[in-house]
Structure 1
Amino acid sequence: MKKLLAVILFLSFTIGTACAEQPVVGFVTGASGLGDLSYNDMSYGGIRKAQQEFNFKLIVMEPEKDGESTIEDFTKLINQSDILILIGAQHAKLVKTTAPKFPDKKFIISEVPVDGLNNVSSVSFKQGEGSFLAGALAAMCSKTGIIGYIGGTPVPQVREFEQGYVAGAKYAVPGIEVKTAYVSPLGDFSGFNAPAKGYNMAMGQYNDGADVIFTVAGLTGNGVIEAARRSGKYAIGVDSDQDSLAKGFVLTSMIKKMDITAYNELKAIMQGKFTPGPTSYGIKEGGVSLSEMKYTRDKIPAGVLEKVEDIRKKIINGEIKFEFREDAQ
Structure 2
Amino acid sequence: MRRVSRLSQVAVAVASLALAASACGKTSSEASKEEGGKEKDSGTSSSYKGKGIGLAYDIGGQGDQSFNDAAYAGYSKAREEFKIGGVDMEPGDGESSADKVQRLEQLAKQGYDPVIGVGFVYAPAVAAAAKKFPDTTFGIIDDNTVKADNVAGLVFHEEQGSYLAGVAAAKASKAEHIGFVGGVDIPLIHKFEAGYVQGAKSVNPKIKIEKRYLTEKPEEGGFSSPDKGQNAASGQIEAGADVIYHAAGLSGQGVIQEVGSQKKWAIGVDSDQYKQKALAKYKQYILGSALKDVGGAVYDLAKSVVEGKPMKGEQRYDLGSGRVGFSDSNPRYTAMKDVVAAVEKAKKDIVSGKVKVKTVP
Give the structure-1-normalised TM-score: 0.90
Q: Provide closer, same or farther for how the CA distance between residues 15 and 57 of structure 1 changes in structure 2, counting only shifts above 3 A.
A: closer
Q: Distance in 1 between the 2:43 and 2:284 partners?
A: 50
1:72 pairs, out of 88, 92, 102, with: 102
Matching residue's letter, 1:7: E
Say whether 1:122 aligns with 2:153.
yes
Q: Give the secondary-structure state (helix, strand or coil) at the position aligned to 2:291.
A: strand
Aligned residue runs from structure 1 range 312-327, under 5 A: 312-325=347-360
Q: Give the secondary-structure state (helix, strand or coil) at the position aligned to 1:113.
A: coil
Q: Provide Cα deviations, 1:31-65, integer angstroms capped at 9, x if missing partner.
A: 11111121211211111111123333212211133
What displacement does 1:67 show?
Answer: 7.9
1:157 pairs, out of 182, 188, 191, with: 188
Partner of 1:4: 27
Partner of 2:85: 57
Q: Distance in 1 between the 2:57 and 2:64 partners?
A: 11
The gaps in structure 1 that reach 5 residues or longer are none
1:37 pairs, out of 57, 65, 82, with: 65
Q: Provide Cα deviations, 1:16-39, integer angstroms capped at 9, x if missing partner.
A: 79xxx6524221012111111212
What displacement does 1:190 show?
Answer: 2.1
What displacement does 1:68 show?
Answer: 6.8
The gaps in structure 2 that reach 5 residues or longer are 1-23
Give the structure-2-normalised TM-score: 0.83
Q: Distance in 2 between the 1:172 and 1:16 partners?
A: 51
Say whether 1:241 aligns with 2:261.
no
Say whether 1:106 aligns with 2:133.
no
Matching residue's letter, 2:343: V
Partner of 1:251: 287
Q: Provide closer, same or farther for how the CA distance between residues 98 and 303 of structure 1 changes in structure 2, counting only shifts above 3 A.
A: same
1:135 pairs, out of 149, 157, 166, with: 166
Q: Is the 8 A contact 1:92 1:112 kept in 2?
A: yes
Partner of 2:41: 14
Q: Distance in 1 between the 2:350 and 2:201 partners?
A: 15
Q: Provide Cα deviations, 1:123-143, integer angstroms capped at 9, x if missing partner.
A: 111010110010111012112
What displacement does 1:109 show?
Answer: 1.1
Q: Is the 8 A contact 2:152 2:314 kept in 1?
A: yes
Q: Is the 8 A contact 1:31 1:66 kept in 2?
A: no
Q: Give the secondary-structure state (helix, strand or coil) at the position aligned to 1:97.
A: helix
Partner of 1:267: 303
Q: Give the secondary-structure state (helix, strand or coil) at the position aligned to 1:312.
A: helix
Indicate the RMSD between aligned Cα atoms, in angstroms: 2.3
Matching residue's letter, 1:313: K
Q: Provide closer, same or farther for how the CA distance between residues 15 and 288 of structure 1 changes in structure 2, counting only shifts above 3 A.
A: closer
Say whether 1:209 aligns with 2:240.
yes
Q: Distance in 2 between the 1:258 and 1:68 partners?
A: 24
Q: Distance in 2 between the 1:33 and 1:87 partners?
A: 9
Q: Provide Cα deviations, 1:283-323, integer angstroms capped at 9, x if missing partner.
A: 111111111142322663x5232122111111011110013
What displacement does 1:99 show?
Answer: 1.4
Q: Give the secondary-structure state (helix, strand or coil) at the position aligned to 1:303.
A: helix
What displacement does 1:214 show?
Answer: 0.6
What displacement does 1:105 show?
Answer: 1.6
Q: Is the 8 A contact 1:68 1:90 kept in 2?
A: no
Say whether 1:306 aligns with 2:341.
yes
Matching residue's letter, 1:105: T
Q: Identity over aligned residues, as a percent?
A: 35
Q: Distance in 2 between the 1:248 and 1:76 partners?
A: 43
Say whether 1:194 aligns with 2:222.
no
What displacement does 1:255 show?
Answer: 1.0
Partner of 1:82: 112
